[in-house]
Amino acid sequence: MFEKLIPELLSHKKIGVFSHVRPDGDCLGSQVALCLWLQKNGVDSSAFNEDEVNKNLEWLTEFKKIDKPDFSDLKEFDAFVFVDGNALHRFGDTAEKITELGKPLYMIDHHPQPDEVFKEFVSKTDASSTCELVYNLFAEHDIAQIDEQSAKAMYVGIVTDTGSFQFDSVKPGTMKAAATLLEYGNFTPDEVVQKVYSSKPMKQIKLLGLALDTISLHENQQIATMYVTKAMFQKTATSNEDTEGFVAYPLSIEGVKACIFFREDEDRIKLSLRSQSDIDVNEWARELNGGGHKKAAGAWYKGKMEEAIEDVISIGRKQWIND
Ligand SMILES: [Mn+2]
């Protein structure tokens, strides 16, 4: 899988590695592990992200410092690697200008429809996570180079991108990767998982309580909706980021095939659609000028919350009747 990319990367002296905006466990884990791999093999590396790292993932930056990119400093790099995203705009304003430098760009990712700006890349949509791909890079090169830090970093990405090994993206290879990481990293899963999942502020749980109270079922109890309003954010002193992971709750109700989470933003409503059946939420979101994957998609709605819920359900209903 990496037979072309490995020699390419190792031919450079100094490489900048970017992870995508609003960073998650998979992009940070793969970025940190890749930087450590480059350093182990004599390539100087720097990690860049436009945004702040969430509190629960901050410990990863102890393994590798992550800086906000400054365009004028990027000239000194020989090449750049982009992880867990396949279009430069996913990596922020600085990354979007990077082609001006004329340096080779590489990419390791698992999302569909990659951009054509990359000299060499590994793009596998059937991989559970970018961290599973970076694990394969280590495995194909020299598996003994996996140490505690890189193992923990990659484990974070595999766990978070698979909903703790629950999604259908989990293959035997994913489990083998995770098992090998535990072995070479010499740690137990709870060490990592507690840091990632058991560090929620109380206010976030209060907001979740308000959100859970709004859950309603539609279409023969098969579609669930849940929402958060600006008033709820105010009442709990929370903000948009605090709703991360909420969408899993309505989806966990018995018999529910798909769900939509509505979040009131400044002047519009953000929709997150999830499916755990043959309902294609990408198609559904496209009707609302959004999109994504079959099982996870997003869109925006202009209008009041009650109208949004009613409209979105009726758009979905038309789609199923057509099917
Ligand atoms: Mn990912």
Of 181, 197, 213, the domain-final residue = 197
Tokens for 285, please give them.
């979101």
Between the CA of 282 and the centroid of ligand 1 the distance, in Å, is 18
Between the CA of 322 and the centroid of ligand 1 the distance, in Å, is 32
Q: What is the CATH number of the domain that holds 154?
A: 3.90.1640.10
Between the CA of 222 and the centroid of ligand 1 the distance, in Å, is 28
Between the CA of 213 and the centroid of ligand 1 the distance, in Å, is 30
On whether the CB atoms of residues 8 and 106 are closer than 8 A, the answer is yes
Q: Are residues 75 and 174 in the same domain?
A: yes
Between the CA of 161 and the centroid of ligand 1 the distance, in Å, is 6
Q: Are residues 150 and 222 in the same domain?
A: no
Under the banding of pLDDT at 50, 70 and 90, the label for residue 106 is very high
Q: Are residues 245 and 97 in the same domain?
A: no
pLDDT in tens, 229-259: 999 999 999 999 899 889 999 999 999 999 9
CA distances to 73, 247, 315 from 84, in Å: 23, 21, 32
Between the CA of 129 and the centroid of ligand 1 the distance, in Å, is 5
Look at 88 and 293; give whichever has higher pLDDT.
88
Q: What is the pTM of this model?
A: 0.84
Q: Are residues 151 and 62 in the same domain?
A: yes
Of 149, 170, 197, the domain-final residue = 197
Q: What is the CATH number of the domain that holds 221?
A: 3.10.310.30
Q: Are residues 238 and 180 in the same domain?
A: no
CA distances to 92, 122, 131, 184, 271 from 138, in Å: 28, 14, 11, 11, 38
Of 139, 163, 197, the domain-final residue = 197
- The region that residue 23 occupies, defined by phi over 0 for left and psi between -120 and 50 for alpha, beta otherwise, is beta
pLDDT in tens, 287-308: 998 888 888 889 999 999 999 9
Q: Are residues 159 and 107 in the same domain?
A: yes
Q: Are residues 279 and 161 in the same domain?
A: no
Q: Which domain holds residue 109?
A: 5-197
Between the CA of 227 and the centroid of ligand 1 the distance, in Å, is 25
Strand order in the sheet with 296-301: 216-218, 223-228, 258-264, 269-275, 296-301, 291-292
Q: Are residues 110 and 185 in the same domain?
A: yes
Residue 162 DSSP code: T
The confidence score (pLDDT) of residue 322 equals 52
pLDDT at 321 > cutoff 80: no
Q: Are residues 300 and 185 in the same domain?
A: no
pLDDT at 320 > cutoff 70: no
For the chain, the residue count is 323
Q: How many domains does the chain have?
A: 2
pLDDT at 167 > cutoff 90: no
CA distances to 17, 38, 81, 191 from 12, in Å: 13, 10, 12, 35
Residue with tokens 């365009």: 71
Helix spans in the chain (H): 5-10, 25-40, 93-96, 130-142, 148-161, 172-185, 189-197, 202-212, 230-236, 248-251, 281-286, 305-322
Look at 297 and 65; give whichever has higher pLDDT.
65
Between the CA of 277 and the centroid of ligand 1 the distance, in Å, is 21
